Structure 1
């Protein structure tokens, strides 16, 4: 066949070639390319910087930054922006805190956790973290004179859901307090609450440092114990005492001189009969026996809003020895399991802490003065209190 093709190549110009013998392969030698051919690399489009104008005075200050109400000039939407100055944001320990807050917010999408929008300026004089705009904090809401029982009945389940959600993500907030619980108004006088300011949060495996606001601090944080999601449960319990002013805690918090006095007062109030006693499992010194957010959701709300799978929520453990007169370091020997049934009253009426508009709120015993607590308190520490 090859010889035949060569003969046809020698034929005079113009002779028609037999189609069956037409050359179909280029027999010329070729060089393989040295690398694979790819499309030209083009840079990704840069994210446009958010342009905004501040509206009104600052809303408040969080950890290392000031929060402002702003309007996006391109979209017309209102937002909140936390602004951190260059000299703060560039310090390595504080930079890590800010980075931690942004990373935590960016992966936590939940109805009761403040919504993260964007951040910019990491290499500029001002670092800006944009979040959804809220109306104010729980602190400002209580100071406005609202019905505290109704607020407590709203805050409690919503914050339990938020804490259970971050616990499932392996995150400890470590600074749950009224200033870090934000709200927006809903129809018919209701409120939606959002847990914010994740600057102190850590993954459970890394949470070992001393952090948080002293009056809301769990015992294990003060004494250097392991910090799990149970520290946030203790802080929420103290927050509930603050909302309801149980035992006069809200007014008396400035009278305490040591964290140990606060913790003893918390246990003293928890031992009282009344609405607070229904959540006393959150105020057990031993964090292993302390209730989790998931357990409290099962007990009081039949598991509504759980992030933890229901079959992974253990039964509650009550330690009767966790009373105001027990030393903070006392072991917990007696244990009794209680069924995780929703109380009949709650199933019918949907409230735990009563409603002062319809009846007088339960009056719990007042906290003993600090001078009377000295005999049952552990030795004081030098830790200053921050109410």
Structure 2
């Protein structure tokens, strides 16, 4: 007996030890409880009440990527069942990989029909509600086929007493109406800048990384409300910073390079050439920008210079569009004329048109519109 005890003591650390430096930050800092979920106050308030009543309906979480949908239901399940019962009570499937009708009829149905075992004593010494039902989490449920969703309807009704479903998706319109009507809907909104900034600052502090307010602002602007994306960018920038000795400070241009967006200096220079006044935070015109183009040749020369840098035409036009629409002094009629140009260019690029020609076309039309 003593031999086996020594053997298990010797081998246990090998299976349990995980190097935290190799773990993605999006997993390392995934919310452990629903109170840790950022910026989804309404959803968290409703789910917090279910923890006290333990009466959980079928649920449908929908909203943009990176807003905490999967993290919320996993955190709720851990708070309901605890570490000992989590594996036996919760089935998580990614519907983009397992989305056929065979999976619904076999794997999901077999799990749903099993009666939950009696509550086990929690090994961590805490008491968990552990309600008398299981939870099946179908991530990316909008990727399920129509037949699979139809087959799921009957299973949800038949085994509702012992199994609850949580469908997670980005596009709620892709969930068939009979399925959506059986669920309580929770909309996850894009994270506001304040919540994102607070979370990124907290992670940077935990990782002992110095980030300036400009870096955090750039992370927020490039991720567009996707917290998962901004955390990934921050981790990549940290790895880039640590690759030199001594480590170099993280600057906004590093974030833009990692995110694949066109640097602000390039967009501002192009916009100034087209005749758009570039306003800084101090509301002064930036003196380091080129003068307004006088004709076709100046704009063509600027477009060739940008294209040689290898930037995506769609990304250039997207950022130029945002600059024009959000410009504080440009007249509304001029913005409307420019928006029509951007819409036409976007359609042409989606149809496979030449990128350089359409950047030039947009440049000429915007130059004319703002004159």
Superposition TM-score, scaled by structure 2 size: 0.27
Superposition TM-score, scaled by structure 1 size: 0.26
